[in-house]
Amino acid sequence: MNKFSYEQGELLAETFKRWNVEYLFIGKSGAIFYGFPETTQDADIFPAKSPENGRKLVSALRELGYQLAPETERDLIAGKDFVQLQSGPFDLDLVFAPDGIETFAEAQSRSLLIDGKFPVASLDDIIASKRAANRQKDRESLPRLEAFRDYLRSRNLAFLPTNP
Rounded to an integer, what distance in angstroms lies between the CA atom of residue 42 and that of residue 137?
14
Contact 34, 152 (CB under 8 A): yes
Judged by CB, which is closer to other proteins: 20, or 147? 147
Question: Does 127 participate in binding other proteins (rule CB under 8 A)?
Answer: no
Least distance (Å) from other proteins to the CB of residue 138?
8
Judged by CB, which is closer to other proteins: 19, or 159? 159
- DSSP helix/strand/coil, 53: helix
Least distance (Å) from other proteins to the CB of residue 95?
8
Question: Does 86 participate in binding other proteins (rule CB under 8 A)?
Answer: yes
Size of interface with other proteins, in residues (CB under 8 A): 53
Question: Rounded to the nearest 5 degrees, what angle is found at the Cα of 37, between the Cα atoms of 31 and 40?
Answer: 65
Judged by CB, which is closer to other proteins: 39, or 109? 39
Report DSSP state, residue 49: -
Least distance (Å) from other proteins to the CB of residue 135?
6
Parallel, antiparallel, or unpaired: how do β-strands 112-114 and 118-120 relate? antiparallel
88, with CB counted inside 10 A (0-12, 13-18, 19+), is middle
Rounded to an integer, what distance in angstroms lies between the CA atom of residue 62 and that of residue 89?
11
Rounded to an integer, what distance in angstroms lies between the CA atom of residue 93 and that of residue 85?
6
Among residues 15, 80, 89, 142, the one that binds other proteins under rule CB under 8 A: 80
Among residues 18, 51, 82, 124, the one that binds other proteins under rule CB under 8 A: 82
Binding residues for other proteins, rule: CB under 8 A, are: 1-6, 9, 29, 32-33, 35-41, 43, 67-69, 71-72, 75, 80-87, 91, 95, 97-99, 114-115, 133, 135-137, 140, 144, 147-148, 151, 160-164
